[in-house]
Structure 1
Amino acid sequence: MKDCRNEELIAEIINLEAILNLPKGTEHFISDLHGEYEAFNHILRNGSGSIREKVHALFKQELTNEQMDELCFLIYYPEEKINTLKQVHSLNSDWWFDAIERLLSIVRFSSSKYTRSKVRKALPKTYAYILEELIYQYDETTDKKAYYRQIIQKIIDLGTAERFVTDLAYLIQRFVIDHLHVIGDIYDRGPYPDKIMDALIDYHSLDIQWGNHDIIWLGAVSGSKACLANVLRISARYGNLDLLEDNYGIDLSALRTFSRKKYQENFKFKPKSNPYRKLSITEITDAMKIQQAMAVIQEKLEGQLIQRRPEFMMTPRLLLDKIHNGQIMLDHVTYPLVNECFQTVDWSDPYRLTSEEEAVITDLLHQFQHAERLNQHMAFLIDKGALYLPYNNNLLIHGCIPLHPNGTFQSITFDGRAYAGKQLLDFFESNIRRAFDQPWQTEDFATDLIWYLWCGECSSLFGKKAMKTFERYFIEDKSTHLEEKNAYYILRNDPEICQKILHAFRLNLENAHIINGHTPVKTIKGESPIKAQGKMLVIDGGFSKAYQSVTGIAGYTLLYNSFGMQLAAHKPFSDKQAAIKQNQDILSNRQIVDRQIKRLKVKDTTIGASLIAEANSLKKKLGRSTQIKDTIETKID
C-alpha cells in the first residue's frame, strides 16, 4: 500500500516538474473599457491580433489575403460568419471539409504549449473524444490519414459540421489567450458594462484590478449613498439611464417624478451624445433634470460625509455653505455662479436632504442592493478583483501609488496610524471587502472609505488633489476646473522611482514592470505609453469613444508571451455586422516592449512558483528527496 502511494506521489512530481518546462502561456492585458462592449468583445475574440498572426503563419503560402481574412472572421464570429456566407452561396461538403481541416491545424498550433490534461478540460464535451483523436494522433504521413479524413467526412455527412466548426472556433479563442488581466474601469461612459461583465464571468481565466469608476458601483451596492449619487449622475450625464432601468432592473420612476417636479431644462446638464443610439426628446429632458437632481443630492451627501470624517481632510470641498447671493468664494477669490439649480437647498442647513430627496435616495439604495443581476456582477468584481496584483514579476494597478514630489510615499492617518505605499493599498482593500460584506452599514468608516477612494487626495484610484465636479457645473472660469495630479504621474517617468515602487511590492527582478491604466495616453500629441525606459507601461488608449479625440487611437492592449511583451495600439472599431460582412478587422500597430533573450517557461511565472512549492511539498512527504530527484530526471530523459 505504501509503495502504491509512493508511486502516485512520484508520478505527480514528474507531472508537476514537466509542466514547469512548458512555454509560458500568453497573458492579455486590457484597461479602461468604459462600457464599450463591441470593441472589447472583438479584441477578446481576436486576441489583439494573435489569431490573425497564427492564421498567417500557417496559411500565408496556401491562401490569399482575402481567404485568410475570411478564416479569421470564421474564428472570431463563427455563427454570424457562417450565416453571412450562407446568404452569399451554399456551403458544400468541400467547403466544410476545408474549414474543419484548417481550424484543426490552428487548434494544434495554438494548443501546443499546454499539457494534454489542460487541453482535454477545454474540449467541448460533445466532441471531446473525436477532437482528442484529431489533435494528438493526427499525422498526414501515416497510414491513418484515411481514418482521420473519414472522421471529418462523417461529421459533415451527419449534418453536425456547423456545430463542430463553431466549437473549434471558440476552442481557438480559448487557447490563444491563457489568462486575461483587466486593469480597471469597466463601468461608466459607454452603454454596456453589463455585457462586458457577462463576458468576463464566462471567461476561462482572468483577474481584475478595480478602477475608480468600478469602485463607485461597488460602493453603491455596499451602502454608500454618496457613491450611489455619483453613479446616477454619471449615468444621466452620458445618456445611459436605460442601463439601470432595462439591464439592471432599477425603477427610476420616483426619481424621474421628483426631478420633473423640482428642476427645469438647463442645457449645461444636457446628456452627452450616446454613440449607440439617439436619445428621444423626452429622454434628453429627463436626463437633464435627473442630472441636476443628483448633482445637488451628491453635494449634500458628500458634505455630510466630509463632516463626519474629518480624518479624510476634505473640508475645503465643503462648498454649499460658501454660496451667498449667487456667488461663491474659493481661495479668497469670489466667482459668480452659473447654471444654478439649488432650489432644494436650505441655506440655513445646506447639507440636509429634503424629505423627498431622502425618500428618493433611500428607495434607490434599496433597489441597488437587491437588484439580482447587478449584485451578481458586483460579487464577481469582488471575487476576481483587487486594488493591485503582483503577477509574473509585473505590478498591475489601475491608478497610482500616491507620492510626494520628492518621491517618498504619501501617507494618510486613520485612527492614529499612518498608511503609505503598499500598506495603504492593503488597508483600502480590506475596508472595501468589509463594506461589501456588510451592506446594511451605510455610514460606517469602511463604506465611507470607498467614497474616499473615488475622490480623496491620497486615493490610489483617483490620483488628484481634488475632484472639481462642482466647479465644472457651476463656475464659468475654467481655471477653477483644473484638477492637480499627484506627483506620481510625473515621477513615473523616472526608472529609479518605478524601481522603488516595485521593490516596495516585493518585485525586485530587473525585468519587472508597472502596468497602469486610468490616464489616457495622448498618442495624437506624441505621448508614449512606454515610460521610465520600459519600467512603466500605461495601457489606457481610449476604448471609450469619449476619449478617442484626445488619444487619437481606440485603446491599447498588451500581450505577454514566452518571447516577451508586445503593445498593440488599436484603431476605432466600426460596426460588428459590417465588420463580419466585410472581414474588416480592428487595425492594430504592434510595438515590442520587452523581448526575452531566453524563452520564458512556466517555471518563470507566478503559477510556476506555486507548482514548485507543491512539488517540494510532495518530495518532503516521500522523505527521500535526492533519490526522487534522480528518478524524475531518469524518467523525463
Structure 2
Amino acid sequence: MSNFQSNELIAEIINLEAILNLPKGTEHFISDLHGEFDAFNHILRNGSGSIRDKVYTLFNQELSAQQMNELCFLIYYPEEKLHSLKKQQSLTQNWWFETIEHLLIIVRFSSSKYTRSKVRKALPKTYSYILEELIYQYDETTDKKAYYHQIINVIIELGEAERFIEDLAYLIQRFVIDHLHVIGDIYDRGPHPDKIMDSLINYHSLDIQWGNHDIIWLGAVSGSKACLANVLRICARYGNLDLLEDAYGIDLSLLKAYSRNIYHDNQQFLPKKNPYRKLTQTEITDAMKIQQAMAIIQEKLEGQLIKRRPDFQMDHRLLLDKIYENQLVINDQPYKLVNTCFQTIDWHDPYRLSPEEDSIITDLLAQFQHSEKLNQHMAFLIQKGSLYLSYNHNLLIHGCIPLNMDGSFQSISFNGNTYAGKKLLDFFETTIKQAFAKPWQTEDFSTDIVWYLWCGESSSLFGKKAMKTFERYFINESGTHVEEKNAYYALRNSASICKQILNAFGLSEVDAHIINGHTPVKLIKGESPIKADGKMIVIDGGFSRAYQKVTGIGGYTLLYNSFGMQLAAHKPFSDKNTAIEKNDDIISTRQIVDRQIKRLKVKDTTIGSALIKDTEQLKQQLKQNN
C-alpha cells in the first residue's frame, strides 16, 4: 500500500475516533399525531421547547421576556413573523443587524456538538461560505471583528437580510434536533395527515413506527378492500372526506350518489363535530350516508376475509349471519338492533356485496392505488417505517407486544408456523412489505395480514380481543361495546415484564426503555406516562383534539439528549395565526425521566456502535498493510 493510501486510512480513523467523542445528538420522540398538522408543525419547529430553552439560556441577561419570545417566534415562523413585524413597525438597520447577530449566536451554540463537515452539509448553498465564516471564524477579541460586522452590514444593504434571517432560523431548527422518531398514527381523525407527511418527507433525519391507523391506509393502497372500507368510514365519521377529495384527488361522486339513493337520515351515523371547520349541511348529510354505506360494505368484506382465513381465529366476529328478526345473538344472548341500515344485505348470503357495492369499492380501490400523492406518502411510510425499532438502548413501538396474563408472549400460528414476541413482529413487518410490493394482489395472504393488524387479537398494533364497531353502531347495551385489552397494557406497569420484553429484543442495558404510543394517557384522571420504575414511557397524550377532553393535555413528546431524557407535556395549541400574532407558544411542562451521571457521547449510541466497528476494521486494514 502506498503512503498516500495509508495516510487516508489514518485520517479516516482519526476522524471517526473524534466523532465518537462528540456529545450525543438530541432525539425528538412524537406520537399519535392523528392529522393535527398545526400542533405537530409547531412542536416540530420549536423542538418541544428546545429552542426556547436555548434563547432564554443565551439572552436572559440581555433581552426582555417579550424580546426573547419574539425572537423564538422569528425562529419558528421566520417568513410569517417578518411579514407581521414589517406591518407593525419600521425595521431599522440596527434591528436587522442585532437580529442577525442574535441568530448567529444561537446557530453557533446549537451546532457546537456537530462536526464541521455535518454543519457544512446543512448550510444553505446561497450563503454557505459566508455562514461558515460567521459560525467558525467569529471572535469578538480579534482584529477581524470589523470584517464580520461588515459582512452583516453588506447583507443588509443588499436587501438580503430577510432571506438571510429565514435561512438562519431554519438552520437553528435543523441543529436543535438531530433525529426525529414518529411512533405511529399519523392518519385519521384530524384534517391534515397529508401535510404532516409532506413535512416528514422533507425532514433531515427520521424514522417512523407504524400505527394502527397508518396500517389501514397502507393496506388500502396495498390492495385490501377491507382496509379501504375502514379508511372511508373513518373519514366520513370525522367529517374529513375533503382529505380524500382535495388532498389525494379521490373522486367520491359515485359513492355519494349511491349513498344518497340507498341510505336515509340516521342520527347514529352523524359525523363527529368537526373542531377545525363548520361542515355544510350537504357535507353532514353525505358523511352520514357514506358512513352507513361503508359500515355495511366493511362488515361484508371483513366477513368474507374471516371466512377465507381460518388461521385468524376470528369466527366470533361473523355477525351478519347471527341476525334474526332484528336481533343479534351473541353467545346465545339476543340483543335488539337499533339504527339499522341493512337494506343491501341479502339474508340468504349476508356477506355478499351487491353489484353496486362491488363496483364502487373496486373503483375506489383503483383510485387509491393510482393517486400519485397518496402513493408517494405510502411509499415513504414503507421506506422509513417499521413495526418496532431498537435504537440507542430504547425499544420504540406504537402498540404492544402481545402477552398472556402470566407475562409470556402470546403466540399465533399462520400457515403452519407459530410466532410470538419479536418473531411475531418480524413476521408482520415482512408481510406488510410483501403486500405493498404487490398491490395488484387483493385477496392474497399478505394483504389480508395487513387487515389483521388493524383488528386481530394477536396484532401488535390493535392489542385487544375484538373491535366492536358493529356493536357500537347497532346495539344500545354498552356492555357489548367494551373492547378487552391485551394483558400487555396491565403488565407494562411491571419493571420485570418490561425488562423481559427489552431482553427479547436484544436490549439488556440498565438504561434501556420501552417508548410507547397508541393509548392516550389520561393525565386528568391521575394516570402517569412514566411506568414500571421508568422502564416504560407512554407518549400518547392527546395531540388529537378528539382525545383532549379525556387526556387533559395537548400531547406528550420526549427529548433524549446527551444529558438524559425529558418528557414534555404540552397544553393544547390555539392556532398558527394567533400564536404568531401574540407570540403564544405551546406551554410545556418538562419532567426528567432519566438523567445521565456521565454525559452521553456518540460512542454510546446505535450509530456509534457502527462507527466503532468501522474504526476497528480500518485499524485491522492498516495493520495488515503495514
* TM class, shorter-length: over 0.9
In the alignment, what sits opposite 2:318? 318
Alpha-carbon distance between aligned partners in 2 of 1:14 and 1:565, rounded to the nearest angstrom: 30
1:515 counterpart letter in structure 2: I
Which residue type is aligned with residue 21 of structure 2? N
- CA positional deviation for 1:613: 1.1
Distance (Å, rounded) in 2 between the aligned partners of 1:90 and 1:624: 68
Residue in structure 2 matched with residue 151 of structure 1 by the alignment: 151
* Deviation sequence 1:352-401 (CA, Å, 0-9, x none): 00000000000000000000000000000000000000000000000000
Question: Which residue number in structure 1 is paired with residue 529 of structure 2?
Answer: 529
2: distance between equivalents of 1:470 and 1:450?
Answer: 20
Task: Kindly report which structure 2 residues correspond to 1:599-610, keeping only aligned pairs within 5 A, or say none.
Answer: 599-610=599-610
Query: How far apart in 1 are the matches of 2:39 and 2:548?
Result: 13
Aligned to 1:633: none
Q: Distance in 1 between matches of 2:273 and 2:161?
A: 44
Measure, in 2, the Cα distance between the counterparts of 1:179 and 1:295.
40
- Which whole-Å CA distance do the structure 1 matches of 2:164 and 2:427 have between them? 50
Q: CA deviation at 1:616?
A: 1.3
**Alignment partner of 2:28: what SS?**
strand
The one-letter amino acid paired with 1:465 is K
Report the CA distance between 1:274 and its aligned residue.
1.4
Deviation string 1:505-536 (CA, Å, 9 cap, x unpaired) is 00000000000000000000000000000000
- Alpha-carbon distance in structure 2 between the residues aligned to 1:202 and 1:575: 22
User: 1:221 matched to which residue of 2?
Assistant: 221
Cα distance in 2 for residues equivalent to 1:503 and 1:182? 23
Distance between the aligned counterparts of 1:291 and 1:172, measured in 2? 45
Residue 106 of structure 2 aligns with an amino acid whose one-letter code is: I
AA in 1 matched with 2:66? E
Q: Deviations over 1:234-253 (max 9, x none)?
A: 00000000000000000001
> How far apart in 2 are the matches of 1:2 and 1:462?
59
2-side partners of 1:287 and 1:377: how far apart? 25
Return the alpha-carbon distance in structure 1 between the equivalents of residues 154 and 8 of structure 2.
40
Aligned residue in 2 for 1:427: 427
Q: Distance in 2 between matches of 1:318 and 1:103?
A: 62
Structure 2 residue identity aligned to 1:85: L
Question: Match for residue 564 of structure 1?
Answer: 564
Structure 2 residue 434 is matched with structure 1 residue 438: no
Q: How does 1:195-274 map to 2 (within 5 A)?
A: 195-274=195-274
Alpha-carbon distance in 2 for matches of 1:576, 1:376: 27
Q: What secondary structure does 1:518 align onto? A: coil
State the Cα distance separating 1:348 from its structure 2 match. 0.1
How far 1:205 moved relative to its partner? 0.1
Match of 1:634? none
Distance of 2:91 and 2:186 partners within structure 1? 39
Residue in structure 2 matched with residue 402 of structure 1 by the alignment? 402
1:632 is matched with none
Q: Deviations over 1:405-464 (max 9, x none)?
A: 000000000121110000000000000000000000000000000000000000000000
Distance 2:187 2:321 in 1: 32
**Partner of 1:161 in structure 2?**
161
Aligned-partner Cα distance in 1 for 2:367–2:623: 58
* Secondary structure of the corresponding residue to residue 107 of structure 1: helix
- SS of alignment partner, residue 328 of structure 1: strand
SS at match of 2:546: helix
Distance 2:35 2:430 in 1: 27
User: In the alignment, is residue 56 of structure 1 matched against residue 56 of structure 2?
Assistant: yes
Once the two structures are superposed, residues 215-237 of structure 1 have per-residue CA deviations (whole angstroms, 9 ceiling, x without a partner) of 00000000000000000000000
SS in 2 for 1:378: helix
Match of 1:509 in 2: 509
**Aligned position for 1:282:** 282
Partner of 1:141: 141
Query: Which residue pairs with 1:29 in the alignment?
Result: 29
Tell me which amino acid in the other structure corresponds to 2:518: H
Pairing 1:433-472 to 2, within 5 Å after superposition: 433-472=433-472
4+ long deviations beyond 4 Å: none
TM-superposed CA distance for 1:622, in Å, is: 1.4
Equivalent residue runs for 1:245-394 within 5 Å: 245-394=245-394
Normalized against structure 1, the TM-score is what? 0.98
Aligned to 1:631: none
Aligned equivalents of 2:208 and 2:302: distance in 1? 28
**In structure 1, what is the Cα distance between the partners aligned to 2:148 and 2:4?**
38
Kindly state the Cα deviation for residue 20 of structure 1 after the two structures are TM-superposed. Answer: 0.1
Q: Residue type of the partner of 1:189? A: R
The alpha-carbon deviation at position 17 of structure 1 amounts to 0.8
Quote the sequence identity (%): 76
Could you say which residue in structure 2 is the equivalent of 1:611?
A: 611
Matches within 5 A, 1:487-498: 487-498=487-498
The corresponding residue for 2:82 is 82
Give the Cα separation in 2 of the matches to 1:553 and 1:219. 31
Give the structure 2 partner of residue 553 of structure 1.
553
1:108 aligns with 2:83: no
**Amino acid across the alignment from 1:188:** D
CA distance in 2, matches of 1:563, 1:52: 18
Deviations 1:602-626 (A, max 9, x none): 000000011111111111221259x
Aligned mates of 2:219, 2:416 — CA distance in 1:
25
Q: Which range moved further: 270-279 or 544-553?
A: 270-279
1:584 and 2:565 equivalent? no
1:512 counterpart letter in structure 2: A
Deviations 1:56-76 (A, max 9, x none): 000000000000000000000
- 1:264, distance to aligned residue in structure 2 (A): 0.4
Tell me which amino acid in the other structure corresponds to 1:542.
G
Partner of 1:520: 520
SS of 1:251's partner is: coil
- Equivalent residue, structure 1, for 2:478: 478
Matched AA of 2:226 = A
Partners of 2:312 and 2:412 in 1: CA distance: 8
SS of alignment partner, residue 545 of structure 1: coil
1:635 corresponds to: none
Q: What is the letter of the counterpart of residue 433 of structure 1?
A: K
Distance, in Å, in 2 between the alignment partners of 1:79 and 1:276 is 24
SS at match of 2:207: strand
CA–CA separation in structure 2 for the residues paired with 1:30 and 1:550:
19
Look up the SS of the partner of 1:546 in the other structure. coil
Q: 1:630 maps to what in 2?
A: none
Matched AA of 2:139: D
Q: What does residue 178 of structure 2 align with?
A: 178
* AA aligned opposite 1:451: W
What's the secondary structure of 1:623's corresponding residue?
helix
Q: In the TM superposition, what whole-angstrom CA distance separates every residue of 1:302-353 from its partner, at most 9, and x where no partner exists?
A: 0000000000000000000001111011122110000100000000000000
